[in-house]
A and B are shown apart, each in its own frame.
Chain A
């Protein structure tokens, strides 16, 4: 184990800005991509449903 206490871990030997800046932005971007995808899927499903409902009405 490299770290004797949490402070040392978060300090990253003086490179905290760079290391945590990389980790933070990576996590943020990946999370955002997943959120956008889920939203896109919801919108697409709603669109298909609406279209299908309209089609069913027309054929009556």
Chain B
């Protein structure tokens, strides 16, 4: 876990250096485009985290394993935070480039729904006292909400949106300068490492909170000293 945190830190420094010092000024958007180095990684992450969360929720539901449900709950706050940051940085980018903070565009609206899904998941889990039932209810919500992910991803193709199409895809060469791409990918990797570190840290807290009566928790060296 400290390794992931350290990796996240180093990658962020490297990514910001590439993004803010090496990458050239954009021909159309000037230096305003530099928001991309935050906006794209946090948006990707907000979607990935949801998929991973739904995966753990499904595992927990099918095999009735406690740790998978804890993993799902550990991911939700970080996912919500990234969804919020995606909307925030998007608004600050939209204002100078599109002339508006917000439009009810398919991409933006579906990302907002994602934020509400995360918040709904957390609210539902904390509203039910019985932990096992809370896990199950949350898992069902997470699984239903996963249909929103392809909607977000493909929204720019399915509808005529103000949001631009994907700059990076698996099938085509990316439509951006290599140095910009490197900066963005470094930041995306940093976001991954950050998420892994934080989610593992949070799942440890959840285990302590839920399993505090078990002998093995009482035998941990953090407790005995």
Chain A residues with a Cβ under 8 A of chain B: 1-3, 9, 12-15, 17-19, 21-23, 25-26, 29-30, 33-34, 37, 40-41, 44-45, 47-49, 51-52, 55
Q: Which 6 A-B pairs have the closest CB atoms?
A: A13-B31, A15-B32, A44-B208, A22-B89, A13-B30, A12-B31
Most B CB contacts (10 A, CB to CB) among A1, A17, A48 go to A48
Asked if B34 is at the interface (CB within 8 A of a chain A CB), the reply is yes
Residue of A nearest to B8 (CB): A30
Q: DSSP majority for the A interface?
A: helix
Q: How long is the Cα–Cα vector from A8 to B202 in the complex, in angstroms?
A: 40
Chain B binding site: helix, strand, loop or mixed by DSSP? helix
Interface residues of B (CB under 8 A from A): 20-21, 23-25, 30-32, 34-35, 38-39, 42, 77-78, 81, 84-85, 88-89, 92-93, 95-96, 194, 198, 201-202, 204-205, 208-209, 212-213, 217-218, 220, 222-223
B212 in contact with A37 (CB, 8 Å): no
Q: How far is the CA of A40 from the CA of B81 in the complex (A)?
A: 17
A40 touching B205 by the CB < 8 A rule? yes
Measured between alpha carbons, how far is A41 from B205 in the docked complex, in Å? 5
Chain A residues, Cβ within 8 Å of B39: 22
On chain A, the residues within 8 Å of B35 by CB distance are: 18-19, 22
Distance (Å) between the CB of B209 and the closest chain A CB? 5
When the two chains form their complex, are residues A2 and B21 in contact, meaning their CB atoms are under 8 A apart?
A: yes
Cross-chain contact of B93 among A22, A33, A40 (Cβ < 8 A): A22
How many angstroms between the C-alpha atoms of A25 and B93 in the bound complex?
Answer: 13
Q: Are B32 and A51 in contact (CB under 8 A)?
A: no
